[in-house]
Amino acid sequence: MSQPDLVIRGGLVFDGRGAPPVRADIAITGERITAVGDVPERGAEEIDASGLMVTPGWVDIHTHYDGQITWDSRMTPSSTLGATTVVAGNCGVGFAPVRPQDQDTLIRLMEGVEDIPGAALHAGLSWEWESFGEYLDAVERLPHDIDVAVQLPHGALRVYVMGERGANRDPATPAENAQMREITRDAIRAGALGFSTTRTMVHRTADGDLTPTLGAARAELEAIAQGLADAGSGVLQWVSDFSDMDGEFQLIRDLTQIAGQPLSFSMVQADVVPDQWRELTRRLDEAAAEGFPIKAQVAGRPVGLMLGLQGSAHPFISRPAYQEIADLPLAEKVAVMRDPAFRARLIAEAPAKGHPFINSLAGAHHKMYAIEGELDYEPDLADSLGAKAKVLGVNPDELVYDALLADEGRAFLFFPMHNYVEGSLDNVHAMLANPNTLSGLSDGGAHVGAICDVSLPTFMLTYWCRDRTKGPRFDLAGMIRAQTLDTAEAVGLNDRGVVAPGYLADLNLIDFDRLKLNVPYMVYDLPTGARHLMQDAKGYVATVKSGQVIYREGQPTGALPGRLIRGRQAAPQRMAAE
C-alpha cells in the first residue's frame, strides 16, 4: 500500500454497523478509508487515538440549514458537535424553486415555521436562483466544512406552480398537479435528496397563516410521488397531526407504493394527544411487516423550549408591562426588571389576548425548570418552578421572573414541550427501541431563538449510553449505528456511516469519559447580527471529514472539504458484494 495521507492510530473503533468495538488503526487516502486494522505504513499525517473512541461522523437527516448553506461555509452548531453530513429541506419549507415575486412569501413561511429571523434571511439570501437545480448550483459554489444534502420543499413547489392561490391553499388543478410532478422529477434528477411536506396545524407563517401545504389533496401528493417514480430516486419526509389517522396513514402507505421510495414521518408524544404515538407505532409496525418502506423519526429527549429574555419565547412576552421594554437592549431591560415596582406590576398583570401559544405555556409552571449549572433533560417533576412555588406558597410567576434575570438576563428556563407528558423519558425509550424508528428531529439551523436540539447526537451517547439512572439505557455500539449507518441508509447515502475500506473518511475521535454537553447560550452571528442559540460540548478531540481534520476540540482548523450531495449515493464497490 502506498503511503496513506492520514493514519489514526490505536483508537477504539466503532464500525457504525453495531458490532463490538475493536482497537485498530485507520488508514485514509484522499477522502476514503483504505484500511482498518494493523496499519504498518506511516501516514503523511498521524493522529494518536489511544484512549479515544473512533466513530463514523453523525449523519443528521433532519435540519433546516436551507438558508445558511448559501451564505455560510460552516454548518454550526452541527459540525462542531460531530455531524459530518446534514440533510436540509425538511418540513416542506425552503427557498427553491421560487419566482422573484414570491421570495418574501418563502421567507415568511420559513420564519414562522422554523423561527429563523426574517431579517437575517433577507440579508443573507442572494436569490441567484429560480429552479431547484439553480439553487443547488448556488449551494455548490460555496465550500463547506461538512456535506450537505437538500430536499425539495412542498411549500416552495406549490407557491412556484400556483402563486398566490398556492399560498392560500386553493386546490391545484390537474394541469398544476402535472407541473408539480414534472418539477419534482427534474429536482430529483438535479440532485434533490427527496421531497418534504408539512400537514400540521402547528406550523404557521410569520403572519400566523396556515402553511400552503396543509390539506393538500391526495391527487396533488400522488402527482408528486409520481415525480419521484419518474426520477427513480428520492425519499419522502412527512409531518402531520394525524388527526384523520385512518386516512392519513393510508395516504402515506399509498405514496410509498406510487413513488417506489421510502418515507419517514415525525413522531413525538404531545400533551394534547398523549397516546397517539402508541397508535402510530402500531400502524408503523404493521406497515413495516407488510413491506412498506416507512420509518418514524423520533427525538431522543424532550423537544425542549429554551425560555429566556434573549430568546423568542418566555412567559411574560404578552404582558403589557413587558411590551413596554421588549425592544430595549438586554442590559437596560434587566435594569428595569430589577425595579421592585415594575416587577410587582408585571406579575400582577393578565396576559394580553392574541398570543395563544405564549399564553398557553405561560401558565404551565409545572413544565418550567431553572437551569442551575447543568441542563437536566430528564428533570424531576418536583424540581419544576411550579412545584417549588407550591412548596413555598408563592406565586410561581415570582420564581419564573427571578430565574429569567439570572446571569444578567442571559439565563434560560428549560420547558419540555413534547415527549415528557409523564415526567419521564420511558416512552422515548420505547420509541427509540423500535426497529422501525430513526434517530432524528434535531432541527439544526432552525428555531434559533427557542430550541437547541441540534446536540441530540451527542446527548444520545452521553445520556442514553452512560449517564441515565432513571431507567434503562442503550448499548453504545447500537446507538452509534442509529445515528450513522441507519440514518445514512434511510435517505440513500450508502457511501458513509461505516468505518470500513471504501467508505468516506468521516470520523469522530471522542474522549468518551470527558464527553459532555454545555448549557445552550445565545450568540449573534446570523446576517444582520440576528440571534442564534448555540451549544458546545467537551470531548470531541477531532472531527474528520473526507479525510481532513475539520475540528480539534471544537475549534475549526480552516479545512472545508464538505460538498453538496446530489441525490442517492452508492455503497463502495468493494463493499457492495458483502
Could you tell me the CA-to-CA distances from 419 to 284, 299, 460 in Å, in that order?
18, 8, 15
pLDDT per position as a tens digit, 535-563: 999 999 999 999 999 999 999 999 999 99
Angle at 437 between CA 432 and CA 441, to 5 degrees: 80
Mean pLDDT value of segment 360-378: 95
Q: For strand 294-298 and strand 437-439, is the pairing parallel, antiparallel, or unpaired?
A: parallel
Cβ-count burial 290-307 (b if 16+ within 10 Å, e if not): eebbbbbbbbbbbbbbbb
- Cell numbers at 571, concatenated: 455503497
Whether 46 shows a pLDDT value over 70: the answer reads yes
Res 574: pLDDT: 64
Res 354: pLDDT: 84
Whether 161 shows a pLDDT value over 60: the answer reads yes
**Which of the 8 DSSP states describes residue 401?**
H
Model pTM above 0.85:
yes
Res 576: pLDDT: 41
Whether 577 shows a pLDDT value over 60: the answer reads no
How sure is the predictor about 578, in pLDDT bands with cuts at 50, 70 and 90? very low
pLDDT per position as a tens digit, 388-412: 999 999 999 999 999 999 999 999 9
Nearest CA-CA partner of 120 in 518, 442, 529: 529
Q: How many CA atoms lie within 13 A of 233 on its CB side?
A: 20
Alpha-carbon span 219 to 208, nearest angstrom = 27
Angle at 529 between CA 528 and CA 532, to 5 degrees: 120
The owner of cell 434535531 is: 442
How sure is the predictor about 57, in pLDDT bands with cuts at 50, 70 and 90? very high
Contact 542, 552 (CB under 8 A): yes
Whether 471 shows a pLDDT value over 50: the answer reads yes
411 Rama class: left (phi>0) / alpha (psi -120 to 50) / beta: beta
Q: For strand 294-298 and strand 263-266, is the pairing parallel, antiparallel, or unpaired?
A: parallel
For the residues of 11-80, what is the DSSP string, one character each?
Answer: EEE--SSSPPPEEEEEEEETTEEEEEE---SPPSEEEE-TT-EEEEPEEE--B--TTHHHH-S--TTTGG
Mean pLDDT value of segment 163-183: 98
Nearest CA-CA partner of 505 in 547, 554, 542: 547
Mean pLDDT value of segment 306-315: 97
Sequence-ordered alpha helix ranges (H) in 290-329? 320-325
The answer, yes or no, to whether the previous bond of 77 is cis (omega within 30 of 0) is yes
Mean pLDDT value of segment 228-246: 98
3-class SS of residue 425: coil
Mean pLDDT value of segment 187-212: 97
Give 264's strand partners: 237, 295
Q: For strand 152-153 and strand 195-199, is the pairing parallel, antiparallel, or unpaired?
A: parallel
Res 28: pLDDT: 98
- Cell numbers at 43, concatenated: 501516514
The span from the first CA to the last CA of the chain, in angstroms, equals 23
174-190 helix and 132-141 helix, angle to the nearest 10 degrees: 30
How sure is the predictor about 573, in pLDDT bands with cuts at 50, 70 and 90? confident
Mean confidence (pLDDT) of the chain: 97
Cβ-count burial 126-161 (b if 16+ within 10 Å, e if not): eeebebbbebbebbbeeebbbbbbbbbbbbbbbbbb
Mean pLDDT value of segment 218-228: 98
Percentages (nearest 5) of helix, strand, coil residues in the chain: 35, 20, 40
Type of residue found at 26 = I
Res 575: pLDDT: 45
Mean pLDDT value of segment 231-235: 98
The answer, yes or no, to whether the previous bond of 561 is cis (omega within 30 of 0) is no
User: 205: how many CB neighbours lie within 10 A of its CB?
Assistant: 21
Alpha-carbon span 192 to 95, nearest angstrom = 13
For the residues of 511-524, what is the DSSP string, one character each?
Answer: -TTT-EEPPPEEEE
User: 123: how many CB neighbours lie within 10 A of its CB?
Assistant: 14
How sure is the predictor about 133, in pLDDT bands with cuts at 50, 70 and 90? very high
pLDDT per position as a tens digit, 447-457: 999 999 999 99
Alpha-carbon span 380 to 216, nearest angstrom = 41
Secondary structure (H, E, C), 335-363: HHHCCHHHHHHHHHCCCCCCCHHHHHHHC
Nearest CA-CA partner of 59 in 152, 140, 146: 146
Alpha-carbon span 309 to 443, nearest angstrom = 22
Mean pLDDT value of segment 107-126: 97
- Domain annotation for the chain: domains and CATH numbers: 60-301+421-451 (3.20.20.140), 306-417 (no CATH)
Cβ-count burial 320-339 (b if 16+ within 10 Å, e if not): ebbeebeeeeeeebbeebee
pLDDT per position as a tens digit, 11-33: 999 999 999 999 999 999 999 99
